[in-house]
Chain A
């Protein structure tokens, strides 16, 4: 009897850590990539990207995961998009070759290479950010994370906040460094539905 019980335990043990990946697709209406940058050393200017998409996979048992994000840089919005009598609005300028060069590089992408967990929740995502055709490592810290059933749609969902920092000059965005900070902080507020 003891032998049978031992055999059953040995057989059941792998099931406890068996991979069980769950796939989620970001809800574009509740995902807000945004950024902040120093301006002239006197203020912190913020902007966001109105269009983004992505998906992630999480395996709570195996404590692994992966993330892919695509941000449409032409959708940049800093609240100044009416040029009036000026040659151009700030958002128009940010789309030019001086900054996000959207005609040539319309997307900024992030692809994870590894996810660290703190307890049962993902805490840090290491990955590669591609901006202006240049790919560099970027780590996103997950500052908030929760999963639950959506109260209206009754579908499983996860969401949270993540952020990371980069130096824009390293991606070739070197215009106006004297007045506009080199350090760019990226924030992602996201919600995703289970596929």
Chain B
């Protein structure tokens, strides 16, 4: 059997074809037959060299995923009409991804600590991804949420965890600010879709999770930051993109500010945290 699976034609052709055929048959009814490509490639990777890639740090993994997510967003926007299940499913996917991101840290912890930390970052990444994705049809709220979430995560990370995590998160906030500004200048909303919300939600979710695992990012600040996608859903001005953008950003900004204050050592000491 080993000799058979070691044959180049089996590794690169027959085995991937067989697995892809099974996946396509199993998933075509759910409009996911296209996953056959991934299954085929995954089979070939497994048989040829295995999934033991050279060491990649959590931060490098976060960046790899975050840079690939916009492509996924475009595909979701152009090729699918997301159903109600799309948000939770995407959240679940990024929750699992964050466990892969943090595996080197998690496996060094004792069982209970590993479960608590793993469960926490899973829930956080899943929530932020799903909650941001749910804003895809409301570009102003999505822009305000991504702006304040990115900046909030950035400042909290700078204060507590690491400069580089802070910079990456802040860049998400900067991108969201640009997105929001275009709407304000045009005086009308522009499509956010999965391309925007998934990119921002997943990136921020992964960065917070990475900072929580690898550096002393306070968990209670992360919990507060997770409220930003909810805060921007509060009622805002009906007319004028300018007013809406500012008001919704203030909502998100207040939550972000609270998280930043909780990351400040003096406040932590006063609150006994």
The distance in angstroms between the C-alpha atoms of A133 and B55, with both chains bound, is 6
Residues of chain B within 8 A (CB-CB) of A97 are 57-59, 161-162, 164-165, 210-211, 214-215
List the one stretch of A79-87, A151-159, A162-170 in contact with chain B.
A79-87
Instruction: Report whether over half of chain B's contact residues are helix, strand or loop; otherwise say mixed.
Output: helix
The interface size of chain B toward A, counting residues with CB under 8 Å, comes to 27
User: How far apart are B193's CB and chain A's nearest CB, in angstroms?
Assistant: 31
| Residues of A with C-beta under 8 A to B162 | 93, 96-98, 175
Binary flags per residue of B15-56, CB closer than 8 Å to A gives 1, else 0: 000000000000000000000000000000000000000011
User: Interface code A80-115, partner B: CB below 8 Å = 1, 0 otherwise?
Assistant: 000101111000110111100101111000000000
Complex contacts, B263 vs chain A, CB 8 Å: 87
Residues of A near B158 (CB, < 8 A) are: 87
Q: With contacts defined as CB atoms under 8 Å apart, how many contacts are there between chain A and chain B in the complex?
A: 65
Q: How far is the CA of A95 from the CA of B160 in the complex (A)?
A: 12
Distance from B205 Cβ to chain A, minimum over Cβ atoms (Å): 17
Contact B265–A103 (Cβ < 8 Å): no
Does A134 have its Cβ within 8 Å of any Cβ on chain B?
Answer: yes
Q: Which residues 210-232 of B have a CB within 8 angstroms of A?
A: 210-211, 213-216
Mask of B153-190 contacts with A, CB within 8 angstroms, 1/0: 00000111111110000000000000000000000000
Determine whether the beta carbon of A103 is less than 8 Å from that of B210. no
Contact B57 A106, beta carbon cutoff 8 Å: no
* Residues on A with beta carbons closer than 8 Å to the beta carbon of B211: 97
Q: Are B104 and A104 in contact (CB under 8 A)?
A: yes
Interface residues of B in 130-174 (CB under 8 A from A): 158-165
B264 CB-CB contact with A under 8 Å:
yes
| Complex-state Cα separation, A101 to B211, whole angstroms | 11
Could you give, for residues 247-267 of chain B, a 1 whenever the CB lies within 8 Å of some chain A CB and a 0 otherwise? 000000000000000011110
Instruction: Tell me, in angstroms, the Cα distance from A98 to B157 when the chains sit together.
Output: 11
Give Cα A98–Cα B217 distance, bound, in whole angstroms. Answer: 13
Which single residue of chain A is at the shortest CB-CB distance from B167? A175
Q: How far is the CB of A155 from chain B (nearest CB, A)?
A: 35
Q: Is the CB of A176 within 8 A of B57?
A: no
- Judged by a CB distance under 8 angstroms, whether A137 is at the interface is no
Which chain A residue shows the least CB distance to B217? A96
Instruction: Let me know if A105 and B160 touch, CB within 8 A.
Output: no
Which B residues lie within 8 Å of A134 (CB)?
Answer: 55
- A28 is an interface residue with CB less than 8 A from chain B: no
Which residue in chain B gives the minimum CB-CB distance to A99?
A: B162
Residue of A nearest to B102 (CB): A104
Q: Identify the B interface with A (CB < 8 A).
A: 55-60, 104-105, 108, 158-165, 210-211, 213-216, 263-266
Return the 5 tightest CB-CB contacts between A and B, nearest first. Answer: A133-B55, A96-B162, A98-B162, A96-B215, A87-B159
13 contacts across the A-B interface (CB closer than 8 A): A87-B160, A96-B161, A96-B162, A96-B214, A97-B58, A101-B59, A103-B108, A103-B215, A104-B58, A104-B213, A105-B104, A134-B55, A172-B60
7 more contacts with CB within 8 A, not counting A83-B265, A97-B165, are: A95-B215, A97-B59, A101-B57, A103-B105, A104-B58, A172-B60, A175-B164
